[in-house]
Each structure stands twice: as C-alpha cells, then as structure tokens.
Amino acid sequence: MRLLPPLLLAFVAGCATIVGTLQLDDRFGPADPAHFDHPPAAVSGAPDYWREVRPLLDQRCVSCHACYDAPCQLNLTSYAGLTRGANPKTVYSSVRLIADEPTRLGFDALTNADWRQKGFFPVLNERMQSPEANRDGGVMYRMLALKQMHPGPDSGAITNADLDFSLDRTDTCTRAETFDDYASKHSERGMPFGMPPLAKAEHQTLARWLEAGAPYTPAEPLPASALAQVADWERFLNGDSLREQLVARYIYEHWYIGHLHFAEAPGRYFQLVRSRTPPGQPIDVVATRRPYDDPGVPRVYYRLRYSEATQVAKTFMPLQLDAARMERIRQWFFTPTYAVDALPGYEIEKASNPFATFRALPVNSRYRFMLDDAQFIMMGFMKGPVCRGQVALNVINDLFWVAFVAPSDNEARMTTTLLDTDIINLQLPAEHESTAGLLAWRDYAKLEKRFLKEKSTLLAAESKKNLPNVTHLWDGDGKNPNAALTVFRHFDSASVSRGFAGERPQTMLVIGYPLFERMHYLLLAGYDVYGNIGHQLATRLYMDFLRMEGELNFLSFLPLKDRQPVLDFWYRGRKDQTDRYFTDAADYFPRESGMQYRTKDHLGELYQAVAQRMAPVRNPALDWKNTGLTPAEVNQMRRLSQIRGIPASVMPEQSLLLLKRPDGHPQIVSLVRNSAHSNVAEMFDEAERRRPKEDTLLALDGVIGAYPNAFFAVDPEKLPDFVDAIGRLSDEAGLVRLTERFGVRRTDPRFWPTSDALHAEWRRTAPREAAVLDYSRFENR
C-alpha cells in the first residue's frame, strides 16, 4: 500500500501526457523525431543562429545547461544538444546499484530519433511547422514566455518556496504536452530559472527564431592552415609501426578529454577520438565508456573531430597543438632506443592498468609527457567526469600545493624496478568496470599496502645523495610553470592553477610518475560517472590512498622526528578502519632526509624552500605584479588574504570581486574561502570535521574556479570599507548586510550586465582560459 501514492501519481502524470499528446497531435499532427536530424535552413527575416542566437544562448542559458549536471540533461552548448532535448533521468546518483547506460552528447547516439529511444524528449516543436505550432509545441519557447509573464522580484533574496536552489533538488522536466499544468503550478519557474528575465529585445530575438522553426546555418569553414595542421597531427598519430601505434594509444588515453586547438584558428576546438576510419575519410567514432575499452575493430585511428560546442569553464581543458609540441613528443618517444614487440590488447584487467599496457614505453618518456602539461593532467581530475560531487571531492583538502619529483636517470631506474616487480599491486578499481561490489575497495587497500612496502624497501636502500631534498623536485627546467600547482576545493567542485598560491597551504603533495599515472587512470580515464555506488565508493576510497601517499612523499623531506606530529595534525580524529595503512610516517620512509634546516619551524622552512625552488617559474600575478592594481589596491588585496577564522568561514566558497574602472573594464579578483577540516579521511559527516576557526581567505587575480557563489561590485574608493566589512563578519546576518551593500544578487537587474562585463573582461585578459561560468551554485541571499 505504501507504493500506491507514487504509482498513482505516475499513472496520473502518464495519462496527462497522453491527453496532451493527443491534443497537440490533433492541432499540429504527429511528432517527427527525425525532424532536426537535418537542421532547417535559414529563413528570411529570422535571426541568424551564429550571429544573434548562439551568443544569447551562451550568455543566458549555458551557465546552467551544460555538462552532465544540466537540469533535465538539457545541454544547450550546441545545436545538437538543443535538438536532442531533455531527459528526466539524473546522471549523478549515489544510490545506483547497477551502472546506467551513458548518454554522452556526440557519442552514445548520433540522431535525435535515437535519443528519443534513450528517453530524451524534444524542447523544440517536432510537429507541423508554423509559428503557432512552434510556440505552443515547444517547451523552450513556453519556458521563456513564462518568465516574461512572471519575472519575479527585482531586489532582495527570493522567498518563493517553489524555487529550490539546492543542488540535489528534484528536477521537474515538463514536456510541451503537459506544460499548461506545469505553468499553473509553477508560474515562477520560467527560464532563466531564479535569475532576472531576458531583456525585451533578447527575448524577442529568441522568440522570433523559435517561431521560425529554429533554423540553423553551418559554422564558418575552418581556415586552410588549421586543416593542414589537423592533417599533420592525424598523420603523426596514425603511423603503422608498433611503436607509433602504442605511443598514439598512450597520447589518446591522456588527451581524449581535452579541447585541442591551433594558433591558426583561435576559438575553434577539436576532440581527439577513436575512429573506425583512417584520415581522409569521414570520422566513424568508436563510442566506449572508457578510452581503453575494447573498440571492437582490428585497428582504431586517432582523429581530430571539430566541435561546435561552446566552452564552459567547468569542463574547459585547452591544449594547443603545434610543431614544437610534436617535436617534444618525438624526442621523448622516438629518439630513445627500445623495442615494441607486440601491441597490448583491451582485456579490462590489463587495459585498466597503464603500467601493464604501456610497459614497453620508457618510464621517463611517459613521465615527461605528463609533466609537460601537468596542470592539464591534474585539471582532468576535476573537470573530466565530475561536474558535481561533494562526496567525490571531500577526499581532498581545500588548499594544497603540488610539486613533482624531477625526472632523472636514477628516478627512472627506481621507478622501472618498482613497476617491473609490482605491476600486479597497481591494479585500479576500474578493472571491475562500472558495477563494483561495495567492499571492492578493501582489496585495493591491501594491494596499496603491498606496493608501499615494496617502495619503502627501495627508498631505504637509496644512497645518501639521493635522499629527499628540494633539489630533487622538478623546477620546470627553469621555464615550465607546470612545475608548481595549487589545487582549490570549492566544496563540491575544484580547480587547479599554476604557481603556489598563498603563503602556506593546508597540506602538500609530492608526486612521482607511478602516483601521477594512477591518479589519471583512477579519477579520469577509469572513472565512469554512470557507474554504480560500488564503483564510486572504490574510486573515492582509493583516492584516499593516493592522496596520503603524496603527502607522505612530502613529509619525507622533514626531519624524521617532525613527520609524525605533522601527519597527526593533518588527520586529527581519524578512524583507524579507513586509513590504518598510512598512520606511521616513519614506516613509510625510516631514514632522515637530505635537507639541512636552519630554523626551529621546519615545516615552514620546508614550504619556503619548495617555493624558492619554483621561484623562476612563478606567475608574477600571484604577487600582484603586472595586474593593473594601484599600490593602495594591492595593499587591500593583501589585507583580504590575511583574513582568518570566523570572518573567512562566513564568506561564500567562491566569490568574484569586480572593481569598477573608468574605461568600463572591471578588474576581476577571486575571493576563495579555504575551509579547514580536522581530516579528509572520511567519506561522510563532513560538517562534524569542519574547523571554521582555522579557515582562511585568499584574494587572487583573475577568475579561479567555475562556479561563483556571489558577485561583489565595488568602487575603488570603497575597497577599504569592503575589506573592513569582511574582516568584521561573524554570522550569516553580517554576510547579508555585506551583500546588500556591495553584492549583485541573482534578482538584481544588474546581474546580466555584470555577467556580460565579467565574461568580456575575462576573454580580453585571458583569451586561452576564459569560458562560460556556471551559476547553478550562485547563492540566494
């Protein structure tokens, strides 16, 4: 009997859909799912898709409707996503017992008719084409019109209980057939959801385009110089020798997530895909869950597929391809002498283990390849399959530094020895594919313990000259800024930037090749966002081991007596059953380091020594140099970065401060709150482990992160008052007052103009990094 109400509700909803369908069929004829498989051509008098419509979608819609976390899976970054439509099924699920079928745009179905078979319904009219039919039969048109009729408040916080801004809210994915009922029950849920309505002229542009049947014009052709580059890279990646094929597979499994581009075609991006067809023929994409899954053909070809999709900050991973990069790859993989006698297969046990698959490739070559764009590789852990996920990201601290063991002949020899004797111990959770048992992580805990014992034995036998010393850290060869990285966690999202931000991090990781590679295959190549709870749990808990290994690497630079107290502070209140293999710092490396300390604050001195090692590649903007700020403004930025404890804890996770300028170009500053925890070794009960009195605030030049929680627009002369006000914060009421005085709320008529100015300035000052921000986490205060 308990199941009756939900079943009854589903029955009633189904009946309403059937009735609505019959009514629309009677007025406009039956729907044709293949209608937009061949996009309607431009119509005289209708707004042009690329010049007028696409910019509006990017500025007003894509901020929420992109990636896997788009409401109702409606992805508006491309025409293909718009015509695919919506799906009520949630991609992010922490209770899924069996892996779901993937619904990746551009891979898992190639026609709208096929998407309809996968549960997607149209938001555009697929029936008879007329202005009336395109209005009444199109969800998108009606959502925009509903907002115009019910724009909501233009000041203060939104108090309507029907507008839920929580990330875990249940989406109401209405169809055209049931829209009348939706509008009567949820009159203030028009689009943009919980934001100011489109300006009249903007609304008219989209309305006229939708009334005309959503016509599409092809994008401008790529320049011949860019096409020549595509041809060069496809030749390079599709050589016939066994070595060339193995190297290409290695490159693909690290670049497939990226947005590849050429200097000859700024703003145009490509995906590296596996194809059944060779260069010169149309791409026939091989769609598999993971990049190393069996393609089902004797040979795959690695092709560059052009993407028309708008780039969004939460997934944007740009990587420029040019002759210099190709030459570096040749030097790493084709200059050394080694043999590739056979190509590895795609059996999941081996393919999920990169150390087995790519055993023939020199360790130093693989490591150099990853270090060359270390930020890109690290970025994949945050921007790949994880658009959302506090449980996935509470495995890391809010602010930590990352440095890398320098590639050297000695390091390569030790790593090769370790991998040759212990490959079996480096198996990863992805070998269970996407449906894993809930206790699978325990097997990997045992393997990790065995691996660390083997590693500790090798480290203990090192000669004195090879003992841990900051001179053994990679310094980017004096020119590569990827040598020093800062990772920020913003509760349920994360970002990585080049250079060490802040004077002192919460923790630090030192990463060598085996650890870096395992992170990549655990968190990106082997992670399936559609996987079941066992897969997610095993991935999350295995990352615990990898994080702690990186921390122990760093602690080995300290005097032996200092390591355990630091480790115990980092893991205050930890529970033995989750990390019992990592509780003894001396057990990991029982010898003294090769460092000579001069002060009593050994940890602080080590941080300074590491920072000094990376000084030649430090970004001047981290010290507010060449940012355009006046000395007085720089002083205020430094005051902001000195705010600690409760005032910092009251601030949003991620705010954007826009300093007004006479020329109309705002100065963008990110205000990042770094939340402190007693430890990050547990999966749940994060609130109980919070230490707000230890929170810090960082002011950083430019845009950090992809999900701003708040905007503050401040006149330069009011900047000291703004800083003072933050320093006095003690509770939520104080933050509300700060927002009333300096903030731009989601109801503020200035919201969209502020957003436009922010994006325009970001594109102007950082054209290779700028992309559309996500407002799904923008706070209602």
391: burial class by Cβ within 10 Å (0-12, 13-18, 19+)?
middle
Report the pLDDT averaged over residues 503-528: 91
Measured between alpha carbons, how far is 549 from 433 in angstroms, rounded to an integer?
Answer: 24
What are 62-92's pLDDT values in tens digits? 999 998 889 999 999 999 999 999 999 988 7
Dihedrals phi, psi of 654, to nearest 5 degrees: -145, 110
The better pLDDT of the pair 435, 779 is held by 779
- For residue 542, name the pLDDT band (cuts at 50, 70, 90): confident
Dihedrals phi, psi of 549, to nearest 5 degrees: -65, -45
Residues above pLDDT 70, as percent of the chain: 92
Q: What is the pLDDT of residue 684?
A: 65
Measured between alpha carbons, how far is 218 from 286 in angstroms, rounded to an integer?
Answer: 25
Nearest Cα to 143, choosing from 105, 104, 79, 86? 86
The answer on pLDDT for 451 being more than 90 is no
Q: What is the pLDDT of residue 1?
A: 37
Report the pLDDT averaged over residues 720-745: 98
Measured between alpha carbons, how far is 9 from 28 in angstroms, rounded to an integer?
Answer: 28
According to DSSP, residue 403 is labeled E
The answer on pLDDT for 616 being more than 90 is yes
Measured between alpha carbons, how far is 160 from 190 in angstroms, rounded to an integer?
Answer: 13
CA angle at residue 33 from 27 to 38, to 5 degrees? 110
What are 123-167's pLDDT values in tens digits? 999 999 999 999 999 999 999 999 999 999 999 999 999 999 987
Other beta carbons within 10 Å of 443: 14
Q: What is the pLDDT of residue 460?
A: 80
Question: CA gyration radius for the chain?
Answer: 27
Measured between alpha carbons, how far is 93 from 100 in angstroms, rounded to an integer?
Answer: 10
Nearest Cα to 597, choosing from 565, 566, 559, 556? 559
Q: What is the pLDDT of residue 689?
A: 83
Report the pLDDT averaged over residues 221-232: 96
Would you give the end-to-end CA distance of the chain in angstroms?
41
The answer on pLDDT for 396 being more than 80 is no
Q: What is the pLDDT of residue 4?
A: 47
Q: Given the structure tokens 């790519």, which residue do they identify? A: 358
Residues above pLDDT 90, as percent of the chain: 73
Q: How far is CA 748 from CA 165, 301, 527, 754, in A?
A: 17, 51, 40, 10
Q: What is the pLDDT of residue 759?
A: 98
Q: What is the pLDDT of residue 300?
A: 98
Report the pLDDT averaged over residues 635-648: 97
What are 282-306's pLDDT values in tens digits? 999 999 999 999 999 999 999 999 9
Question: Six-digit token pair at 109?
Answer: 């179905």
The answer on pLDDT for 685 being more than 80 is no
The answer on pLDDT for 653 being more than 60 is yes
Contact 726, 643 (CB under 8 A): yes
Ranges 12-21, 689-698, 762-771: which has the least confidence: 12-21
Helix 374-383 / helix 363-372 crossing angle, nearest 10 deg: 70
Query: How does strand 667-674 pair with strand 696-701?
Result: antiparallel
> Could you give the dihedral angle defined by the CA atoms of residues 348, 354, 355 and 357, in that order, rounded to the nearest 10 degrees?
60
Query: How does strand 259-261 pair with strand 318-320?
Result: parallel
Report the pLDDT averaged over residues 695-724: 97
Q: What is the pLDDT of residue 588?
A: 86
Measured between alpha carbons, how far is 442 from 448 in angstroms, rounded to an integer?
Answer: 10
Q: Given the structure tokens 């604050």, which residue do they identify? A: 601
DSSP 426-458: G--GGGGTT---TTHHHHHHHHHHHHHHHHHHH
- For residue 14, name the pLDDT band (cuts at 50, 70, 90): low
Contact 463, 413 (CB under 8 A): no
Measured between alpha carbons, how far is 428 from 319 in angstroms, rounded to an integer?
Answer: 27
The answer on pLDDT for 437 being more than 60 is no
What are 158-200's pLDDT values in tens digits? 999 999 998 778 889 999 999 999 999 999 999 999 999 999 9
The answer on pLDDT for 578 being more than 50 is no
Nearest Cα to 23, choosing from 201, 180, 222? 180
Biggest distance spanned by C-alpha atoms of the chain: 86
- For residue 40, name the pLDDT band (cuts at 50, 70, 90): very high
The answer on pLDDT for 436 being more than 60 is no
- For residue 3, name the pLDDT band (cuts at 50, 70, 90): very low
Residues paired with residue 319 on neighbouring β-strands, in sequence order:
260
CA angle at residue 238 from 232 to 242, to 5 degrees? 140
Measured between alpha carbons, how far is 388 from 401 in angstroms, rounded to an integer?
Answer: 22
pTM, entire model: 0.94
Report the pLDDT averaged over residues 653-676: 94
